[in-house]
A and B are shown apart, each in its own frame.
Chain A
Amino acid sequence: MNLLLAPIVLPLLFAILALFALHHPRAQRALALAGTGLLAIVSVALLLSVRAGGIVAVQVGHWPAPFGITIVADLFGAIMVVLASLTGFAIALYSIGVHDRARERHGYYPLLLVLLMGVNGAFLTGDLFNLYVWFEVMLMASFVLLALGCEKPQIEGAVKYVALNFFSSALFLAAAGLIYGVLGTLNMADLAQKVAAVEDKRLLTSMALLLLAAFGIKAAMFPLFFWLPASYHTPPPAVSALFAGLLTKVGVYALIRTFTLIFPLEPTFTQPLVLWLAALTMITGVLGAAAQMEFRRVLSFHIVSQIGYMIMGLALFTPLALAGAVFYIMHHIIVKTNLFLVSGVVHYLRGTGELKQLGGFYRAHPWIAILFLIPALSLAGLPPLSGFFAKLTLIVAGLQQQAYLIVGAALGVSLLTLFSMTKIWGEVFWKAAPGRPEPDAPPALEPARLRLMIAAIVLLAAITVVIGLAAGPLFTLAMEAAGQLMNPQPYIEAVLGGAP
């Protein structure tokens, strides 16, 4: 029972300790590493206990369920927490390697931990308003992380990011207010029951659409994605890796949670809408990526197109498709973070991210090249890496639903992804280094720091390979999670069925 709150309280405690040690970078680094490491262990334990013992819920402050705030973990939530914690650990490792004194003095590590707390809180909460609060916790931390350092592109990216997210929060808040006004509750399990009992669905559909718009902005779905590629490539690599891996996925998580539990997708209106949005998200994202010539911009656009795949899993709305979405998220968080970390190493070694100016990496650093190849091929969906199974599941689910258009879109996008990954490979690693030596060669990295950064990348790459090799058991896990999502009854019972 107490394990359930640990993923939220633990990072908070470590963040506080790190705040006290603001002027002792060594202590901060140790705290960040210990905090995220412990977090990873605890969250794996949570996942195991949820899998063994079913959904667990805690009524915070001992207020009974529909009134107080409930923290609840089902398999999907627990899986997400594990992924977030693992990513957090890798990022902490990498950041220590980066060794950015100025940012460390301004609270980089406490912010990192607070961000993780917000993400975990959002994954575990069972209350709509509480979800809003966790979103804000996470966003505040991410705002500051994004703007920390005050370089010009960073500030410009941050302005757009802050404005859009503030707007989507206002939408979310309005939706929450309306829902409370109509249904008189904000507990998600309680809402699910009350929504099912309402006869007139029209007002509910409008609320569902408000939530769709709010979460859609945060998840960077089709018409509302433009803030993402405008801001994600501006902060330091470790930060953009963290954002790329986690933040949009919280939006996707919220979408999946809302549209399975509270407002199950309606085949007449919302389902086709979400399906179309998914297809358009995929296609615009990958086309944007194909047009870009900067390492991290390419990757940013790919996030958008990958979000399309996850939403596609939601929109098909069958157990298999949802399992595909869950599996896709697992694979995507790890792979995407890793790609950004690799791009960071390239950036630190060469001082630029422009593809045209890079080259010769395979000759100079064959190991980095191979470490790039693993997540890149996995992202494009080559067997036997993790992305292949994720895409395969989604496509099979699509064929079962006879949604041939979106399957075609998914296959085409996959091909284009491979194209732009080979573009990066060719430009950065394969091509001979551009003739002239760099005019302002950046200070060489100390080998010890580089080793830490590589260690983070190796960790994530190893996880990718493991996901690919252990696809069978992990897929059963995803199927179980999807089963829980499609059948919310146990969730409702766990939340409302008396205090633990």
Chain B
Amino acid sequence: MSTLILRTATRYLVPILLLFSIYLLLAGHNYPGGGFVGGLAASAGLALYALAFDVRSARAMLRVTPTTVSAAGLLIATLSGLPGLFKQLPYMSGQWIVLPLPGFDPIKVGTPVFFDIGVYLVVLGVTMSIIFSLSEETK
């Protein structure tokens, strides 16, 4: 599988896929997209890298183990439910603050975004650990 063409193409494709995944993640609140698809796109990028080069370098690119990624995601998603509690609202109630940005339209940041980031990381971590262990298994 690891031909020169694929390897060269991968070098350009992976950053694009990762960027696109982040776009999907952030667009997810009002448009089609979201943490799940974003995470899948990102893991597609990493999986492509693992195909073109090898699993070890893909692991190295991720820097931390997939388990840690998904644990971090879970933690973020769980904690994103907490802020609502301070306003005497039930767990997971959405909270929003508007951040004014100089020169741009103000953007709304809310707990659902953090929840989505958590989902993104969990999906990425879980998919990568599935793909890594499957491809290491078959060797």
A and B touch in the complex (CB under 8 A): yes
Chain A interfacial positions (CB closer than 8 Å to B): 1-2, 5, 9, 12-13, 15-16, 19-20, 22, 58-62, 107, 499-500
* CB–CB A12/B74 < 8 A: yes
* CB–CB A62/B71 < 8 A: no
Chain B interfacial positions (CB closer than 8 Å to A): 65, 67-68, 70-71, 74-75, 78, 81, 84-85, 89-94
Complex: A59 Cα to B74 Cα, angstroms: 21
The 7 A-B residue pairs with the shortest CB-CB distance, nearest first, are A19-B71, A62-B93, A61-B92, A16-B75, A16-B74, A58-B90, A5-B91
* CB–CB A59/B71 < 8 A: no
Complex: A160 Cα to B120 Cα, angstroms: 32
Q: Which residue of B lies closest to A61 (CB)?
A: B92
* CB–CB B67/A22 < 8 A: yes
Chain B residues whose C-beta falls within 8 Å of the C-beta of A60 in the assembled complex: 90-92
Complex: A5 Cα to B92 Cα, angstroms: 11
B90: contacting residue among A13, A16, A19, A500, CB under 8 A:
A500
Chain B residues whose C-beta falls within 8 Å of the C-beta of A12 in the assembled complex: 74, 78
Chain B residues whose C-beta falls within 8 Å of the C-beta of A13 in the assembled complex: 75, 78
* CB–CB B91/A2 < 8 A: yes
Chain B residues whose C-beta falls within 8 Å of the C-beta of A22 in the assembled complex: 65, 67-68
A9: contacting residue among B65, B70, B71, B91, CB under 8 A:
B91
B67: contacting residue among A1, A9, A19, CB under 8 A:
A19
Complex: A462 Cα to B31 Cα, angstroms: 57
Chain B residues whose C-beta falls within 8 Å of the C-beta of A5 in the assembled complex: 91
Complex: A2 Cα to B94 Cα, angstroms: 16
Give 9 CB contacts A-B under 8 Å: A2-B85, A13-B78, A19-B68, A19-B70, A19-B74, A58-B90, A61-B94, A62-B92, A62-B93
* CB–CB A1/B75 < 8 A: no
Chain A residues whose C-beta falls within 8 Å of the C-beta of B91 in the assembled complex: 2, 5, 9, 58, 60-61
- Shortest Cβ gap from B84 to chain A (Å): 7
Sample of 20 further A-B pairs with CB below 8 A, known A5-B91, A58-B90: A1-B90, A2-B91, A9-B78, A12-B74, A12-B78, A19-B67, A19-B68, A19-B71, A19-B74, A20-B68, A22-B68, A60-B90, A61-B92, A62-B84, A62-B90, A62-B92, A62-B94, A107-B67, A499-B90, A500-B90
